Amino acid sequence: EILYQKVHGPFIGEVEEGNAQTGLISNLFAAPIFRHDSEPTDFLMVLGQLTTSSRVASSGEVLTELGVVLRPLPANIYCVGQTEPRVKVFSPNTNDEKKFINAFVPYQVAKNLQRTEELHGNGLTFESIKDRLFGNTAIPQTQLRLRIKQVANFERKDNGIWSLKSVGEDDFPGVEALG
């Protein structure tokens, strides 16, 4: 990426005109990379837990202790500087987070239902929606059902399958309009 005058680059600091700056850039963050010429006295200290079989508690639990390992640095290494987030991450339980989740959940449900209906010709059960899309989240089931109802119809005769609403039904704008 070429930076022009008065254009803020992807890093926190400024890059002087005519200079190049290597960086580690992903969808989540950007960080500058610097070459570091190490001195013979430089070292890398690694902290970790050591388990020693000789130290056992009376309950039979193996005791661990903090271990330190010192390693020499190679003559030339590259260090990554301060990371600059590229995606906004909301603080937990804020209005911004709730607003994001209220838009994100129905879109993900609608997109997944659309894909499943195209591939298999039928919708999904509540359990499969919850496990496929939100298995690692703490969204309460009642909240999830409310979000699913925004984009899908519950069909009792088909063993409790949720199927995607048609565009215009109950003011449903369609999957692409949600995203």
Q: Give the pLDDT confidence of 94-116 residue by residue, as tens digits.
A: 999 889 888 999 999 999 999 99
Read off the pLDDT of each residue in 16-44 and give the average, rounded to a whole number: 84
Residue 8's pLDDT is what?
Answer: 56
What distance, in Å, lies between the first and last C-alpha atoms of the chain?
A: 28
Read off the pLDDT of each residue in 22-40 and give the average, rounded to a whole number: 86
Model confidence pTM above 0.85: no
